[in-house]
Amino acid sequence: MKYDIKTLTLDEKLKLLAGRNSWQLENANGKLPDVFLSDGPHGLRMYDLSAAERTIQKATAMPNLCVVASTWDEEIARLQGATIAEDCIEKGADVLLAPGVNIKRTPLCGRNFEYFSEDPYLAGVMGKAYIEGVQSKGVGTSLKHYCANNREYDRYYQTSEVDERTLREIYLLPFEIATKAQPWTVMCAYNPINGVYASENKWLLNDILREEFGFDGLIVSDWNAVHNSVRAVKATIDLEMPYREAAYPQLKKAYEEGWLTDEEIDARVEKILALMEKTQCEKSVSLTKEQRHEAAATIAREGMVLLKNEDDILPLTAGKIVVNGPFADAPAMGGGGSAYTQTDYRPQTLAQALSERLGERAELIRPHGSLNENLNVHHIKATYKAAYNAEVCVLCVGTGKAIESESFDRANLRLSPTQEDLILGVAKINPNVVVVLHSGSAVDVSPWIDKVKAVLWAGFSGEGGQEAIADILTGKVCPSGKLTETYPLCLDDTPTGAARGNGFAERYDEGVFVGYRYYDRYDKEVRFPFGHGLSYAKFEYSDLQIEKQGETDYEVSFSVTNVSAVDGKEVAQVYVRDVFAMVTRPEKELKGFKKVALKAGESKRVRVKLCARSFAYYSVPLKKWHVENGDFEILIGASSRDIRLTDKLTIELDEREQYSLE
Ligand code: BGC
> What average pLDDT score do residues 21-46 get?
96
Ligand 1 centroid–CA 76 distance in Å is 24
Does residue 1 carry a pLDDT above 70? no
Output the pLDDT for position 228.
97
Q: What is the atom index within ligand 1 of the atom nearest the CA of 144?
A: 9
Nearest of 532, 528, 396, 419 to residue 465 by alpha carbon: 396
Separation of first and last alpha carbons in the chain: 57
| % of the chain beyond a pLDDT of 70 | 98
Residues with CB under 6 A from ligand 1: 39-40, 97, 144, 222-223, 338
Q: Is the pLDDT of residue 301 over 80?
A: yes
Task: Please tell me the number of Cα atoms within 13 Å of 337 on its side-chain side.
Answer: 19
CA-based angle 325:329:331, to the nearest 5?
85
b/e sequence 576-597, b meaning 16+ C-beta within 10 Å: bbbeeeeeebbbbbbbbbbbbe
Backbone CA torsion sign across 30, 33, 37, 43: positive
Is the pLDDT confidence value at 42 over 90? yes
Give the range among 58-72, 156-170, 360-374 with minimum mean pLDDT: 360-374
Instruction: Summarize the confidence of residues 471-498 as an average pLDDT.
Output: 98
- Cα of 98 vs centre of ligand 1, distance in Å, is 9
Helix (H, G, I), strand (E, B) or coil at 558: strand
Ligand 1 centroid distance, CA of 589 (Å) = 31
The mean pLDDT of 534-558, rounded to a whole number, is: 98
Whether 312 is catalytic: no
| Ligand 1 centroid, distance to 368 Cα (angstroms) | 39
Active-site hit among 39, 73, 119, 222: 222
Residue nearest to atom 4 of ligand 1 (CA): 223
DSSP 478: -
313 neighbors 472 (Cβ within 8 angstroms): no
- pLDDT tier for residue 356 given thresholds of 50, 70 and 90: very high
pLDDT at 44 over 90: yes
Distance 205 CA to ligand 1 centre (A): 18
The tens digit of pLDDT for each residue in 83-139 reads 999 999 999 999 999 999 999 999 999 999 999 999 999 999 999 999 999 999 999
Residue 503 has pLDDT above 90, yes or no: no
Task: State the pairing for strand pair 433-438/392-398.
Answer: parallel
Residue 433 has pLDDT above 70, yes or no: yes
- Rounded CA gap, 339 and 336, in Å? 7
How large a percentage of the chain has pLDDT more than 90? Answer: 94
Which atom of ligand 1 approaches the CA of 37 most closely?
5
How far apart CA 460 and CA 304 sit, in angstroms, is 9
Q: Quote the crossing angle between the two packed helices 289-303 and 465-473, to the nearest 10°.
A: 50
Residue from 23, 44, 64, 97 whose mutation best tests the ligand 1 pocket (most atoms within 8 A of CB) = 97
Contacts of 253 (CB under 8 A, 6+ apart): none
**Confidence band of 223 (pLDDT split at 50, 70, 90):** very high
Helix, strand, coil percent values for the chain (each to nearest 5): 30, 25, 45
Q: What pLDDT score does 378 carry? A: 77
> Mind listing the pLDDT tens digit for each residue in 599-627?
999 999 999 999 999 999 999 999 999 99
Question: How far is 612 from 464, CA to CA, in rounded Å?
Answer: 41
Please report the atom of ligand 1 found closest to the CA of residue 39.
10
Q: Smallest Cα–Cα separation from 15: which of 265, 211, 205?
A: 265
Residue 441 CB neighbours (<10 A): 25
pLDDT for residue 52: 67
How far is the C-alpha of 314 from the C-alpha of 393, rounded, in Å? 12
What's the pLDDT tens digit per position in 518-533? 999 999 999 999 999 9
Assess whether pLDDT exceeds 90 at residue 584.
yes
Q: What is the mean pLDDT of the chain?
A: 96
Write the residue with the smallest CA distance to atom 8 of ligand 1: 222
pLDDT tier, 51 (very low <50, low <70, confident <90, very high otherwise) = confident
**pLDDT for res 370:** 61
Nearest CA to ligand 1 atom 9: 338
- For residue range 405-432, list pLDDT tens digits in order: 999 999 999 999 999 999 999 999 999 9
Atom of ligand 1 nearest to the CA of 97: 10
pLDDT digits (tens, 9 = 90+) for 140-196: 999 999 999 999 999 999 999 999 999 999 999 999 999 999 999 999 999 999 999
Sequence letter at residue 614: S
pLDDT surpassing 90 at residue 371: no
Q: How confident is the model at residue 380 (pLDDT cuts 50, 70, 90)?
A: confident
Q: Confidence band (pLDDT; 50, 70, 90) for 310?
A: very high
Torsion of CA 130, 136, 142, 148, to 10 degrees: 30
Choose the residue to mutate in 102, 186, 338, 340 for probing ligand 1, maximizing ligand atoms within 8 Å of C-beta.
338
Please report the atom of ligand 1 found closest to the CA of residue 98: 10
Instruction: For residue 521, list its beta bridge partners.
Output: none
DSSP secondary structure string, 262-306?
HHHHHHHHHHHHHHHHHHTS-----S-HHHHHHHHHHHHHHH-EE
Confidence at residue 661, expressed as pLDDT on a 0 to 100 scale:
85
The pLDDT of residue 217 is above 70: yes
For residue 141, give the 3-state DSSP assignment: strand
